[in-house]
Structure 1
Amino acid sequence: GYEGFVPVHWLPTIGCSDWEFFSSNGESYLIYSSAKAPLSKVFKLKTY
């Protein structure tokens, strides 16, 4: 179950309606669209 889940990061996604992952030039990104406002945000991911 999720009881052992430990969050590492918190993303401010109030009213998020959709997530998409994409990569470009070897970099990884998450983009989300808001269901409450006409806006989208792009987050650059750091992977180790």
Structure 2
Amino acid sequence: MIALGVILLVIGFVTGISILWTIGVILVAIGAILWIMGAVGHSVGGRKHYW
């Protein structure tokens, strides 16, 4: 999710399409939150790891 967010951020920045930039920021933020939750030991979606 973080990788997809970064890809969308880059594409949105290069092409100037603001919706891709917005979706990329949202995906990076959600991916980072899930990654941090999984890293500290909280279950995310019933799993101990995000992936």
TM over 0.5: no
- TM-score, length-scaled by structure 2: 0.24
Q: Where is the strand percentage greater, Structure 1 or Structure 2? A: 1
